[in-house]
Chains A and B, each alone.
Chain A
Amino acid sequence: MTATTIPRRNKGPGSVWGKLSIATKQTVWAWAFLALPLLFFTVVRFYPTLEAFYLSVTDWDLLSEARFIGLENYRRLFADPAFWQVFRNTFAYLIFGTPIAILLSFAVAYYLDRVTVLHGFIRALYFLPYLTTAAAMAWVWRWFYQPPPIGVINSLLAVFGIPAQPFLRSVDQALPAIMVTSIWAHLGFQIIIFMAGLRAIPTSYYEAARVDGLGEGAILTRITIPLLKPTTVFLVIFSSIGFLRIFDQVYNMTSNDPGGPLNSTKPLVLMIYQTAFSSYQMGYAAAQTVVLFTILFTISMAQLWILRSR
């Protein structure tokens, strides 16, 4: 279809509308289409964002009027040892979870991409957990981690003569146990995205490398990994944000003592939830959400900067 020259002025019905120029009409239509969405974004996104910042400097508790107290909430938060415990937990999920998830999903995607026998079936096996509900699967995993004779994992360990592990009841093991559940739940998504990235690399690159006599290992490190960088950057940031915001698994796997034992699994979002909706300290909780926002923003920007410039 070739471009036809469009008359600059449309001779519409002889109304005011008909006399408007195309550019003006376009502007009117555009703002008509955008009116309701912009109202929505203003009321449900922009205004609440500003309100969260405002509430973070008040002592609002749902009952009495919000009173301006300056940076008191932040001072209180940073002086609270429980916050630093939560802070360490949140970063533990990120620092261990993201690299494991990225390496695992890349390895699976890399090999799965070359599999032809039962390719679709194996891909489905890895992808299925992604379609499950985190709240439901947290309970399945919680059951897996139970002490013998109920717990599946402990029964399996017993077969190999390994003593029963406390898992969710241990201050040291509970956080890794929850992290495994979270990695499991998101692995399928990461594999699919890595596979899409692998497919996007032109086969001619591989052929050229093979003609030059590069081995499989050299092809992997010199062609596949560098060309896959945009995909990897996206997944690292996406996965990090996911771990920094972990909530569903922790809430459901430790529901008798949320974030326990002894706060050893509590992430920042669970702390926010409890401060806001169990203690109703809305101002204090708002300050925590601002801290969460700052962390997310800083980590994403830092990762983007580090991974891009390398």
Chain B
Amino acid sequence: MSAVPKTPALPYAMLRPGRIVAWTVLFLGGIVMVTPLLYMFSTSLKSAGQVYDLRLIPADPTLANYIKVLSDGRFMRWFFNSVLIATIVTLSCLFFDSLVAYTLAKFRFPGRYVVFLAILSTLMIPTEMLVIPWYLMASKFGWVDTYWGIAFPGLMTAFGVFLMKQFFETVPDDFLEAARIDGLNEFAIWWKVALPLVTPALSALAIFTFLGNWTAFFWPLIVTTDQSLYTLPVGLSSFAVEQSIQWEQIMTGAALATIPTLLIFLFFQRYIVRGVMLAGVKG
């Protein structure tokens, strides 16, 4: 238990030169990983004439592309749509997934196991298999080209139920019994006692759900035909097709779609990495 740094690095002194080589290779690999992002930003700051100049630092940086791409208002609209849908779906998942998970983890009632298995079994069904029936449902009820139509398939997820259930199982029953004796009703016990005890899991689920919906492409592509209802990825895709070979415009659009998540990551790096670990390992 001596001066252990944050990373439990192994005593590795015998391999000094190897260690330096490994570090250098890792570092260069990391640079290669972000090169596409760097070039995307670099090109978005170049004028059409400079695109062929492949230097990473633009000779004459300009925000003209951003002004042009943002000026027709479509990107702002798609951005708003994506934020709205990802937020609604995330809130819904946080509420319902954890309510179901709590019920399955902490209540003893006939049918509990069957309900859990039934919900778990939906994990095996790929989205692609459901989109045709969903589309049929959406067109029957007039949900095509509506926010509800884009959002409804994701409002509750078996993944979230499964993840949250594992965490609710670690909440001691005594806490809940104590609240019960204090006269709280079951909903209040869940909301005021159990939920605050699983906040790390809630934030992990929130990160996963938000990211998944923010980048979702397949279903929004199917259920929207009206440009003003496109989400950012679908909008960007149609924008890029329409720009054809104007790469500086396309890179600007791609940068606009990427900046929000990168900013969030810069501020919440630790939570996001921990959240992904938590969700990935437990889920």
Q: Interface on A for B, CB 8 Å cutoff?
A: 1-4, 6, 23, 26-27, 29-31, 33-34, 36-38, 40-41, 44-49, 51-52, 55, 108, 111-120, 122-137, 139-141, 143-144, 149-150, 152, 155, 184, 187-189, 192-193, 195-197, 199-200, 203, 206, 210, 216, 231, 234, 241, 245, 247-248, 251-252, 255-256, 269, 272-273, 276-277, 282, 285-286, 289-290, 292-293, 296-297, 300
Contacts and interface: CB of A to CB of B under 8 A. Distances in A.
A193 B277 contact: yes
A149 B22 CA distance: 34
A40 B156 contact: yes
B159 to A, nearest CB: 12
A206 B37 contact: no
Given A47-B133, A140-B251, A184 B36 contact: yes
A296 B126 CA distance: 8
B39 to A, nearest CB: 6
A122 B26 contact: yes
Chain A facing B: main interface SS: helix
A41 B132 contact: no
Given A48-B134, A292-B128, A155 B54 contact: yes
A247 B215 CA distance: 13
B237 interface: yes
Contacts, number: 284
Contacts of B96: 36-37, 40
Given A1-B174, A30-B109, A131-B265, A55 B232 contact: no
Interface stretch (B64-72, B115-123, B162-170, B195-203): B115-123
B178 interface: yes
A282 B136 CA distance: 10
Contact of B107 (A29, A134, A251, A293): A29
B206 interface: no
A139 B254 contact: yes
B236 A133 contact: yes
Contacts of A256: 241
Nearest to B152: A44
Contact of B7 (A55, A114, A128): A114
Nearest to B137: A48
6 contacts: A1-B172, A4-B178, A124-B269, A133-B254, A193-B276, A193-B277
**A-B pairs, 10 with minimum CB distance:** A125-B30, A48-B133, A135-B233, A136-B254, A27-B109, A30-B107, A196-B277, A289-B129, A51-B133, A136-B257
Contacts of B262: 128, 131-132
